């Protein structure tokens, strides 16, 4: 008599367990009037390591407030690059700043030399990346349609601003 009840309970629990990823393993979509991006979960972050210099094996999951702070700093850096003597950076930063709302972002929290950082992968939203919320967007070249930057939380500064080359 108890066997059918136990079997039914096992089936229900199995279905619940297989009902897709939980919050701890899935990425979080962030949509604001100023930017749209995805926060990569701590549990998935190592899968994205090939996109940046993997100087760490420790990852963390940024909050939406952390991302907001990073975005403010990114915008400030793009403005300051307008004074950069490097014409390539200056030209591309001007384009990026003018079209900032057109970019999607992927945010990966990582720890480098004990510092929490947010690595940001940015790409033009018009691209054909239907799985960008779950999968890393990786392109070679592409110019100012693809760029990366890293935000260092303890210092409230952006480093490693890199615009892809043009083929």
Q: What are the residue ranges spanned by the domains of the chain?
A: 23-163
Q: What is the pLDDT of residue 72?
A: 98
pTM: 0.81
**Spatial separation of the C-alpha atoms in residues 67 and 73, rounded to whole Å:** 10
- Residue 140: is it exposed, middle or buried by C-beta count within 10 angstroms (0-12/13-18/19+)? exposed
Q: What is the pLDDT of residue 109?
A: 95
Distances from the Cα of 130 to the Cα of 100, 104, 126, 135, 137, angstroms: 20, 12, 10, 9, 10
**Under 8 Å between Cβ of 61 and 41:** yes
pLDDT digits (tens, 9 = 90+) for 59-68: 999 999 999 9
Q: What is the pLDDT of residue 53?
A: 66
Residue that wins the pLDDT comparison between 51 and 133: 133
pLDDT digits (tens, 9 = 90+) for 3-54: 343 333 333 333 333 444 334 469 999 999 999 999 999 999 988 887 776 6
pLDDT digits (tens, 9 = 90+) for 79-131: 998 887 777 778 889 899 999 999 999 999 999 989 999 999 999 988 779 99
Q: Name which of 110, 118, 113 is nearest 148 in CA terms.
A: 118
Q: What is the pLDDT of residue 55?
A: 63
Q: What is the pLDDT of residue 24?
A: 42
Q: What is the pLDDT of residue 57?
A: 73
* Residues with Cβ within 8 Å of residue 37, at least 6 apart in sequence: 29, 30, 67, 104, 105, 106, 107, 120
Residue length of the chain: 167
Q: What is the pLDDT of residue 155?
A: 97
Q: What is the pLDDT of residue 54?
A: 63
Residue that wins the pLDDT comparison between 162 and 57: 162
**Under 8 Å between Cβ of 109 and 27:** no
């Amino acid at each position: 008599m108890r066997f059918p009840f136990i079997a039914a309970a096992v089936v229900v629990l199995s279905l619940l367990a297989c009902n897709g990823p939980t919050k701890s393993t899935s990425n979080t979509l962030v949509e604001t009037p100023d930017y749209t991006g995805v926060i990569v979960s701590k549990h998935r972050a190592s899968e994205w390591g090939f996109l940046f210099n993997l100087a760490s094996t420790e990852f963390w999951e940024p909050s939406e407030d952390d991302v907001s702070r990073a975005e403010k700093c990114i915008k400030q850096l793009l403005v300051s690059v307008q004074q950069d003597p490097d014409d390539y950076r200056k030209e591309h930063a001007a384009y990026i700043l003018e079209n900032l709302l057109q970019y999607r972002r992927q945010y990966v929290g990582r720890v480098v030399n004990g510092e929490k950082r947010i690595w940001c992968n940015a790409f033009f939203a018009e691209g054909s990346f239907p799985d960008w919320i779950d999968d890393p967007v990786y392109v070679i070249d592409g110019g100012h349609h693809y760029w990366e930057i890293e935000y260092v939380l303890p210092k409230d500064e952006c480093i490693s601003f890199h615009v892809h080359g043009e083929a």
